[in-house]
Amino acid sequence: MTITLLFIIFIACPLASKGGKWTYNGPDGEHDWSSKYPFCGGAFQSPIDFQTQLLRYDPNLPPIQVQNYNLSTNEQLTLGNTGHSVLLSLPSHMYISSLPHRYSAAQLHFHWGSSSLLTGSEHTVNGNRFAGEMHVVHFNSDKYPNISMAVDKHDGLAVLGVFIEIGEFNPAFDKFFKYINGIKYRDQKIQVPAFNVRALLPARLDEYYRYDGSLTTPPCYPSVLWTVFRKPVTISRKQFLALATALYASHAQDSATVPLHGNYRKPQLTDNRVVLVSFKDGLHSIFSVASPFQRKQVIQKLLVGDLADLADEGLYQLLPKLSPQPGVEKKWKKNKKQGQWSQATQKQQWSNNKVPSNTGYSSSIGKKTPTPWYMGALGTDKEMCFVSLEENVVHQLERYHAKGLMVEALREVVFPELNLRSYLHCRSDLDLQTIKQLIKGRSRDEAVELEQSLTKAMLRQIRRQIKQHRNPNMETTMGHSQATFPKDYNSALTYHRPQRVEWED
């Protein structure tokens, strides 16, 4: 059974799937996570490397505003050793107020290196890793009653990431670091007095990286809106070593003790995501993000418009880039079982489906028309549950004795909708795989027309770049960095998507 056919039948009926033991190293290390937690091998995974070419300046990003972070010392917080990290529980009356929804605090935890390797942050900046990283985890309390209900929803979590470097002693961290010997072993917990959690964050909350990503530990659901602050906080070397040497990932009764350190996941594929930044200083040749309105125009044109007009209107700038990668198949294959819809039929299909008014599209509804897959992404309030999706996929694969295809199939199902959602929020470039899904109901001739139009548009873009190379004062294309061009660019224009790789310890 092919992946294409599996894609058609996946969204059917549920069967629960279960995970298992996981570690950062050894036989149960991150190279094996996806065998027990398929989303760990799927799309939109975290952490990532904040490479300069991924960054897009968004002047509309507001400073992060946190409320009720200055806790009373009369409150008690639970400090625990999970076997994977140090975790401090947080009360839900702490929350972020500068996001579209209210995100209430649940817990904070840490990732760090070891006494011999003082680098252990999960996110990196142009390949550079910090000593550690703190994650303050919040859940969408406007829509979900607790973090357990929110963790597998596409809009369920918002995490504040804080880089940690070794420097001056930090009294705020010592508020609970001094109790760390009480949780030396896995599953040990103690109560500690509350304190001002705001003091753990950088002084400036207006400079940060923003992108759509996932939990960095199993089950790796892609349910996190990440905000990683640009400026690190410091702790002393003594404080760092206390964290890196005093704890064990094993239980107190275990015969062999396992040190708890090096608990960070390696960088993941970017999956056509871009990283919005709230700052411009110190960055050269950084481009402003394209507007959501322009992106909605692109989607509307793909669904119902004249595909050739995408290039004529300049909207091709927001479509996948043509890349000089010879040997990649150019033609878009069409499943023989798919019907050949005319443009007029597709327009009728579009008008018969209800689209939320805040997308700027039609709002009529046809009772007999099935809801297209992309409506979940266009309707921003529609829930996307990763647990249910995983159960559906497992059920279908087990029916056909093809459970080994789980990771690939799950990615095939989830990626287009994640990419479309993130694209409409300006946090991804539109992927060719997503475009294929959007126009699969249209005729082959129209798909070929789009490809030809993009090729012509790319040729024009290359010519402009040649002129700009000769005249550096010319303006660059908004929203994208300049693409490199080959000497023989007429023969090298093909669609290319980077191949997935397996990260290993």
Q: Is residue 31 part of a domain?
A: no
Backbone torsions φ then ψ of 154, nearest 5 degrees:
-65, -25
Q: What is the pLDDT of residue 362?
A: 35
Last residue of a domain, one of 261, 287, 313: 287
User: Domain span at residue 155?
Assistant: 46-287
Note the pLDDT tens digit of each residue in 367-414. 445 567 676 677 656 778 999 888 888 888 887 778 778 888 888 889
Q: Are residues 279 and 357 in the same domain?
A: no
Note the pLDDT tens digit of each residue in 39-94. 999 999 999 999 999 999 999 999 999 999 999 999 999 999 999 999 999 999 99
Better-scored residue on pLDDT, 215 or 431: 215
Q: Is residue 296 part of a domain?
A: yes
Active-site residue flag, 84: yes
Q: Is residue 159 part of a domain?
A: yes
Confidence of residue 491 (pLDDT cuts 50, 70, 90): very low
Q: Are residues 240 and 348 in the same domain?
A: no
In angstroms, the CA 36 to CA 93 distance is: 35
Q: Are residues 56 and 176 in the same domain?
A: yes
Domain CATH for 73:
3.10.200.10
Supply the angle between the helices 343-351 and 292-304 in degrees, to the nearest 10: 130
Mean pLDDT of the chain: 80
Q: Is residue 198 part of a domain?
A: yes
* Residues 374 and 296: beta-carbon distance below 8 Å: no
Cis (ω within 30 of 0) for the bond into 219? yes
Note the pLDDT tens digit of each residue in 143-190. 999 999 999 999 999 999 999 999 999 999 999 999 999 999 999 999
Residue 96 forms beta bridges with which residues? Answer: 66, 103
In angstroms, the CA 351 to CA 51 distance is: 41
Q: Are residues 311 and 382 in the same domain?
A: yes
Q: Are residues 157 and 245 in the same domain?
A: yes
Q: Are residues 275 and 332 in the same domain?
A: no
Q: Are residues 198 and 244 in the same domain?
A: yes
Q: Is residue 35 part of a domain?
A: no
Q: Are residues 329 and 476 in the same domain?
A: yes
* 503: nearest Cα among 224, 183, 158, 267: 267
Set 84, 251, 395, 496: catalytic member = 84
Note the pLDDT tens digit of each residue in 93-126. 999 999 999 999 999 999 999 999 999 999 999 9
Last residue of a domain, one of 260, 287, 314: 287
Work out how many domains the chain is built from and give that number: 2
Q: Are residues 181 and 155 in the same domain?
A: yes
Q: Is residue 32 part of a domain?
A: no
Point out the least confidently predicted range of 90-99, 237-246, 434-443, 452-461.
452-461
* 8: nearest Cα among 367, 333, 335: 335
In angstroms, the CA 356 to CA 379 distance is: 6
In angstroms, the CA 291 to CA 450 distance is: 22
Q: Is residue 6 part of a domain?
A: no
Q: Is residue 339 part of a domain?
A: yes
Does residue 277 register a pLDDT over 60? yes
Last residue of a domain, one of 249, 272, 287: 287
Q: Are residues 354 and 263 in the same domain?
A: no
Q: Are residues 253 and 297 in the same domain?
A: no
Q: What is the pLDDT of residue 335?
A: 39
| Average pLDDT over every residue of 326-337 | 39
Does residue 433 register a pLDDT over 90? no
Q: Are residues 155 and 243 in the same domain?
A: yes
